[in-house]
Amino acid sequence: MLAGAGAATITAKAPVRNKHNRRALAEDVRSEMRWAWRNYREHAWGKDQIRPISGGNESFPLKNHHLGLTLIEALDTLWIMGLDDEFRDGVEWIKANLDFDVDGEVSVFETSIRLVGGLLSAHHACGDPVLLAKAKDLADRLLPSFNASPIGIPHRFINLKTGALRGPETNPAETGTFIPEFGFLSRARGDDRYRAAAKRALVSMFERRSKIGLLADSIDCMTGEWKSRRATIGPPSDSYYEYLWDGWDLLGDRDCLAMYRTCTAAILKHQPLRRGGDLWFGNVDFETGKPLDTEQDELGSFYGGLLAQGGNPAVGRAHTRTWAKVQKRYGVLPESVDSRDMAALSKTNDLRPELADAAFNHWLIDGREEWREIVRDHYLAMKRWNRARYGYADLADVTSNPRIQSDHCPGYWWSEQMKYYYLIFANTPRVDYRKLYLSTEGNVLRGLRRP
Ligand code: IFL
């Protein structure tokens, strides 16, 4: 389908300096969320993902079985926006229908960040013990993947019913993106097993860093042998670094802070790539630091926000501004660009939240208007190009005019960018912005205020 046809058109960009315009933007985001939710409610209720062009549905993370992924991802966003009837409806569905005893295989990483995290943030919002119990049941089904490895690094896939494992060849993100969810669960249940497993995996990966302090992006989880030479701050390593910081931020774990600092020092020494006024982080050989290619993955655009959180705001700002230039060129970001000239190397757009995530994190730290402007542009371009008949859709090509949409809406859309947009414009009393903690999937595990 061609985007723009039939979609609501935006006629002007609202200056974000003006309070009324910010309020209007927040209201607009809220009303888009409600519209998308109603479509999901009507056409794909209880399914994992709605197909936004046809109104059909598709399952994820299981192949042939639905777990209500979208509604679980959406819950804390609905709650923050004060869409309380919708929130209650979702919680009721979970209580009546959600059952993880399914003979099917899931990604351990995706299941933890999306489903365990989504249930925990909904529990944080309303305190319902059933949500916590469901999160525990699911985490119990993921834990064997950690325990099966002599070095504590999980296999990539596990069968939810039988515990059968697959995928020993894994990577930093799928090794180390567990500690906030598992740590929260351990605290809430008074059972340290979850936190300890997540921490062991983080440390085990860290101990395998090269002499110059970098991690490669593929490893055997049973032997600890590296399977690649490429160090990157993009996928599949990105959220490993994010969760080192988060282990400190959310749980006060000093080892995580020390590991974050060690990894960051190595990255800042070997990976910055300056071109004109732009700052990228290159993909390099993990033992020599030698540059490998010039590709920059959109998922890496979260990194400027993380650097600012971790105490390197100037470098972080430079990187986020570089990605904001890419946004100025394309409107909606392509999946990857060439750092030499910002040419799109992968022209698709998977409704990605990372640039909005980074800008939001900068704004929480320094309150500058420029971050709100980046987020506003992100939102307006998405509304213009990604809005389809039944919801928001990926783009098959961000360079065509009009843009071409694909019939897919990822679960993270409900948990991430809609929340960042709303939070940056709304100033809602439901959130203590100074305490706010957001997971890699945008799930709030600290800082919600019940009315
Ligand atoms: O699942 C999302 C999350 O932000 C993540 N990686 C990619 C997704 C969004 O692009 O950690």
Q: Is the CB of 412 under 6 A from ligand 1?
A: yes
Question: Which of the listed residues 441, 443, 444 should we mutate to test ligand 1's pocket, taking the one with most ligand atoms within 8 A of CB?
Answer: 441
Contact, 379 vs 394, CB < 8 A? no
- What confidence score (pLDDT) does residue 27 get? 97
- What confidence score (pLDDT) does residue 5 get? 36
The residue whose CA has the least distance to atom 7 of ligand 1 is 299
Which ligand 1 atom minimizes the distance to the CA of 302? 4
Angle between helices 179-189 and 129-147 (to 10 degrees): 120
Mind listing the pLDDT tens digit for each residue in 10-68? 344 668 888 999 999 999 999 999 999 999 999 999 999 999 999 999 999 999 999 99
- What confidence score (pLDDT) does residue 40 get? 98
Cα separation, 326 vs 182, in Å, equals 35
- What confidence score (pLDDT) does residue 54 get? 98
CA 398 to centroid of ligand 1, rounded, Å: 19
Q: Is the CB of 299 under 6 A from ligand 1?
A: yes
- What confidence score (pLDDT) does residue 4 get? 41
Integer angstrom CA distances of residue 45 from 57, 98, 219, 225: 9, 13, 39, 44
Mind listing the pLDDT tens digit for each residue in 103-149? 999 999 999 999 999 999 999 999 999 999 999 999 999 999 999 99
The residue whose CA has the least distance to atom 3 of ligand 1 is 441
Q: Write phi, then psi, for 412 (nearest 5 degrees).
A: -65, -20
Percent composition of the chain: helix, strand, coil (DSSP 3-state, to 5): 50, 15, 35
CA 168 to centroid of ligand 1, rounded, Å: 21
CA 238 to centroid of ligand 1, rounded, Å: 9
Q: Is the CB of 199 under 6 A from ligand 1?
A: no
- What confidence score (pLDDT) does residue 8 get? 37
Q: Cβ–Cβ contacts within 10 Å for residue 19, how many?
A: 10
pTM recorded for the entire structure: 0.96
CA 19 to centroid of ligand 1, rounded, Å: 31
Which ligand 1 atom minimizes the distance to the CA of 173? 11
| Lookup result for tokens 């609501």 | 8
- What confidence score (pLDDT) does residue 13 get? 63
CA 356 to centroid of ligand 1, rounded, Å: 12
Contacts 24+ apart (CB under 8 A), 154-158: 154/108, 154/201, 154/221, 155/108, 155/221, 156/107, 156/108, 156/109, 157/105, 157/106, 157/107, 157/108, 158/105, 158/106, 158/108
Which residue stretches of the chain have pLDDT < 70?
1-14
Question: Which of the listed residues 354, 394, 418, 443 should we mutate to test ligand 1's pocket, taking the one with most ligand atoms within 8 A of CB?
Answer: 354
Cα separation, 233 vs 297, in Å, equals 9
DSSP annotation string for 294-343: -EEEGGGGGHHHHHHHTT-HHHHHHHHHHHHHHHHHHSSPPSEEETTT--
CA 116 to centroid of ligand 1, rounded, Å: 14
CA 191 to centroid of ligand 1, rounded, Å: 28
